[in-house]
Amino acid sequence: MKLKICLSAVLMLGAAAAQAAGPGTTGASFLKVGVGARELALGSAASSLSEGAGAIYWNPARLAGLKQKHVSASYNMLFIDESQGFLGYAAPLKEDMGTLGVGVDYLTVSNIEKRASDSDNADSKFSNNNTAVALSYARAEVKPGLALGANFKYIQQKLDAQSDKALALDLGSTYAVNKDWTAAFVIQNLGGKIGPDKLPLIFKGGASTRFFENKLTAAADLDWLANDERMYLDLGAEYMLNRYLDFRAGYQLGRSQDKLGGLAGLAAGLGLRYDSFTFDYAYVPFGDLGDTHRMTLGFVF
């Protein structure tokens, strides 16, 4: 009964936030970019697949299955003078009391020119700095097969001398349907506004399954960006060639709404494993904006 009350409260809270949402500009748009080379190579179909500290961003409930401490560091080579990164740490508590995590997501745009008049030479330069710090907790087997997790986030964006702050909440869940199928549901960025703009409220649900003695994994997610009135279908697949090497590919349907052209929506990458270390790479084109390259290092101890 308590579980039903909690789930009902979460759904009503999400429904109320969605009803208040509408099309328009959102603040803290960097929260929509995505982190982690593995997840992005899968076309962002990650709600039921994200592992380790990277799950802080995608679905905090996925931290619940962690057996060892994990550190994850990502760097994204985006466009001119624009870079993004993520640093996460997660550790299981003793006596099956759950998992704690902390993650820092940032995006910086530097060397923006400032002019007081119409001239060829800039008077000065400034930067746009965006940061989100998340504190996470997850618990496995809340009910048989069900794991729940949450993030409490502090968000800050700075543009020249202007600085805005906000608090937000992420709620996540996963459910092991059977030994092959896993389902997930996530609500991201539940909160008010940052400055004059709404936070990018995102509803994400999906499922994944495994084939061929767990060598091939396939996943699909449906993303609803409530405030942007955007919907994407994420499709991803991962093939484990051997214990050292994985190949990945994904596609995000609905990118035509963004009018980026080219190969926008496509993603591909690979993963390398050796001992306690992992290295993941993803190639994610953004059409006319250019190509991006994502890299993630992980360490288990």
**One pLDDT digit (tens) per residue for the chain, 301 residues:** 444 434 333 433 443 344 444 455 788 999 998 999 999 999 999 999 999 999 999 999 999 989 999 999 998 877 777 889 999 999 999 888 999 999 999 998 876 766 666 666 766 677 789 999 999 999 999 999 999 999 999 999 988 778 899 999 999 999 999 989 999 999 999 998 999 999 999 999 999 999 998 899 999 999 999 998 899 999 999 999 999 999 999 999 987 666 666 678 899 999 999 999 999 999 998 877 778 899 999 999 9
The rounded distance, in Å, linking the Cα atoms of 270 and 210 is 18
| Residues 228, 22 contacting (CB under 8 angstroms) | no
Buried b (16+ CB within 10 A) or exposed e, 1-23: eeeeeeeeebeeebeebeeebee
Going by C-beta distance under 8 Å and a sequence separation of 6 or more, which residues neighbour residue 225?
32, 200, 201, 202, 231, 232
Give the pTM: 0.85
Helix (H, G, I), strand (E, B) or coil at 236: strand
Cα(17)–Cα(22) distance, rounded to whole angstroms? 10
Superfamily of domain 2-300: Outer membrane protein transport protein (OMPP1/FadL/TodX) (2.40.160.60)
Distance CA 255, CA 294 (A): 19
